[in-house]
Amino acid sequence: KMAAAGAADAQARFGHSVKGLLTEKVTSCGTDVIALTKQVLKGSRSAELLGQAAKNMVTQEDAILHSEDSLRKMAIITTHLQYQQEAIQKNVEQSSNLQDQLSHLLK
């Protein structure tokens, strides 16, 4: 009888031990699944951020190209304005010469 009680006691301890190990393993697996999920979510967020950065870069590139085009046009306009300024200066000089000639003729 005593041997049977000892065997039953050992079996109960073994059962508790196995249950404890299983609980630890389940907890460990749960923790690993949570960590894996966090890592996957972080990876998908990284891909999203990279996509947004690529879109921003394309937008910036378009803005730079537009700015270059505007600068080219402004350079052309500046050249035309310089030609007009030179023409106006020549006209002013000629006007001054004409005034001198007129005043000389009218004397």
Q: pLDDT tens digits for 36-81?
A: 888 887 777 787 888 889 999 999 999 999 999 999 999 999 999 9
The answer to whether residues 101 and 52 belong to one domain is yes
Whether 30 and 67 map to the same domain: the answer is no
Question: What is the domain range of residue 15?
Answer: 1-43
**Phi then psi for 78, rounded to 5 degrees?**
-60, -45
**pLDDT of amino acid 101:** 82
Does one domain contain both 63 and 22? no
What pLDDT is attached to residue 78?
96
**Chain-wide mean pLDDT for the chain?**
84
Higher pLDDT, residue 100 or 87: 87
Does 86 share its domain with 99? Answer: yes
Between residues 50 and 15, which one has the greater pLDDT?
Answer: 50
Whether 102 and 50 map to the same domain: the answer is yes
Overall number of domains in the chain? 2
54 plus 102 within the same structural domain: yes
Same domain, 67 and 93: yes
Q: Provide the whole-model pTM.
A: 0.47
Q: In this structure, what token pair is assigned to residue 81?
A: 């304005």
| CA dihedral (93, 98, 104, 107) positive or negative | negative
- Residue 70 and residue 52 in one domain: yes
Helices (H) and strands (E) in the chain, counts: 1, 0
Residue 75 CA, chain-centre distance (Å), reads 31
